Amino acid sequence: MKAKKEIFIGLGILIVLIGAIIGIKTFTDKNNGEEKDYSNLTQVYVATGGGKENFIADEDVNKIMHEKYKMNVIYDNWSNGKTVLWPLVRESVGKGNKSIADELSKNHFAYSVTSSGVSKYDALFTSDQRFYDYFKVTPAQGESARERVLNGGLTLNTPIVIYSWDTVTDALIKEKIVTEKNGTYYITDMNKLITYILQGKKWKDIGLDMLYGSINIDSTDPVTSSPGATYYGLLLSIMCGGTVTEENFEANLKNLKEFYVKSGYMNNTPADLFELYLKTGVGGKPMVVDYEKSAIDFANANPDGWNQVKDKIRILYPTPTIWNSHCVATFNETGNEFYNALNDKDIGQIAWSKYGFRTGVTGGNYDVSAVNIKGIPQSIDSTVSSLKMAFYEKMIEYLGK
């Protein structure tokens, strides 16, 4: 009996030892043989908008943050709109203090950024400049109190472009809508293209007999999607002659609504739309609206897939176009250090070469040939400013009626 008991004890010890060895090996394997210790790093908490998930998760970017700037950055996912409606604390997205998080899930006015016990952020990293600008103004009725912004600005930029195909682009060149210059394709007569769509012109009317239906540019829905709203803001700016005022805004809303109705069904995320564009080809999606970064990101992540389509894809730059700008707002010195680190030239080079984000106020200074994608210009010269939040809200409300 005693011998059996000793055998069982011995087996138990052996199992524990084996488990410990496997655990240690798994931990070191996950860290490429190195046990990562972040205890000596400054923990930075950032409320983060979408559209840059791959970039902020990049190993090389985080290695620079760890080794050069001694920071370990924790990015919490936030929608742009929620940043002004809810208190900007970690409990609003289910993190931090559980009891506070549970109360906020029932009533988001139960706490504010000044409440005791909440977990505050060091910085906000929006995915749309209008929300960055709006965050800095006094909260309106129904909005949460906000942190005072110390510093910040534009960090990652990518322009709105229209993805098309070789045959479609050739037809648009004949219509004098698109112009090729130094290997880059520009939509030099956006008004004419908009007019064609409003008039209901067919693809066959411009010589594309193999395409059925009316000329159209697929986009995400401006009523439910921030990228779609940015694109419709660009369309409205073009309809208003480049400068939106109270008078011409109201005068052009009807045409914009007609354009919206003629566009038909819309996806809610640009990633889904770009995937459909690539998968269905010229017959399914002759023209789609997306960001310049999408082609670079896809080509790096899927080199085989890119090689299959790269000779037929055309990237068309509207003249003017509009920036989609990811902006940082800082709330304390730790946030300031994070913002400065993001402007590191090596991080900027990774942002561009791997993920297609231009950095800096004017879109950075890059060797565009390094991304090995034809038709991307060295600089983006013709742009319009983002609409003010009040115009966006009125536009989205009108389109959604």
pLDDT digits (tens, 9 = 90+) for 214-259: 999 999 999 988 889 999 999 999 999 988 999 999 999 999 999 9
Average pLDDT, the chain: 89
**One-letter amino acid of 64:** I
Is pLDDT above 90 for 188? yes
Q: What is the pLDDT of residue 364?
A: 53
Residues contacting 392, CB < 8 A, separation 6+: 130, 229, 233
Q: What is the pLDDT of residue 57?
A: 97
Burial of 39 (0-12, 13-18, 19+ CB in 10 A): exposed
Is pLDDT above 50 for 65? yes
Is pLDDT above 60 for 326? yes
Calculate the CA 286 to chain-centre distance: 23
Give the C-alpha distances (Å, rounded to integers) separating 187 from 59, 173, 238, 315.
37, 9, 12, 10
At the fourth CATH level, the homologous superfamily of domain 158-323+374-400 is: Periplasmic binding protein-like II (3.40.190.10)
Q: What is the pLDDT of residue 206?
A: 97
Average pLDDT over residues 189-207: 96
Calculate the CA 73 to chain-centre distance: 19
| Whether the Cβ atoms of residue 144 and residue 107 lie closer than 8 Å to each other | no
Calculate the CA 139 to chain-centre distance: 25
Q: Which residues pair with 157 in a beta bridge?
A: 325, 358
pLDDT per position as a tens digit, 358-371: 986 544 556 677 77
What is the pTM assigned to this prediction?
Answer: 0.85
For the ranges 31-40, 226-235, 377-386, which has the lowest average pLDDT? 31-40
Which residue bears the tokens 């790096």? 300
Q: What is the pLDDT of residue 144?
A: 94
| Whether the Cβ atoms of residue 314 and residue 239 lie closer than 8 Å to each other | no
Q: Which residues pair with 123 in a beta bridge?
A: 46, 330
- pLDDT tier for residue 13 given thresholds of 50, 70 and 90: low
Residue ranges of the alpha helices (H) in 153-245?
166-174, 190-199, 226-239
pLDDT per position as a tens digit, 141-175: 999 999 999 999 999 999 999 999 999 999 999 99
Q: Look at 298 and 6; give whichever has higher pLDDT.
A: 298
Dist. CA 398–CA 401, nearest whole Å? 6
Q: What is the pLDDT of residue 29?
A: 40
State residue 59 phi and psi, 5-degree precision. Answer: -60, -40
State residue 248 phi and psi, 5-degree precision. Answer: -75, -20
Given CA atoms 238, 244, 246, 248 in this order, what sign does their dihedral have?
Answer: negative
How far the first Cα of the chain sits from its last, in Å, is 82
| Whether the Cβ atoms of residue 360 and residue 348 lie closer than 8 Å to each other | yes
Q: What is the pLDDT of residue 35?
A: 53
Q: In the chain, where are the structural domains located? A: 158-323+374-400
Dist. CA 270–CA 60, nearest whole Å? 26
Q: What is the pLDDT of residue 126?
A: 96
pLDDT per position as a tens digit, 328-378: 999 999 999 999 999 999 999 899 999 999 986 544 556 677 777 889 998
Strands (E), 274-375: 288-291, 313-318, 321-330, 358-359
State residue 77 phi and psi, 5-degree precision. Answer: -75, 130
- pLDDT tier for residue 15 given thresholds of 50, 70 and 90: low
Name the pairing type of β-strands 71-77 and 321-330.
unpaired
| Whether the Cβ atoms of residue 331 and residue 120 lie closer than 8 Å to each other | yes
Q: What is the largest CA-CA distance in the chain?
A: 96
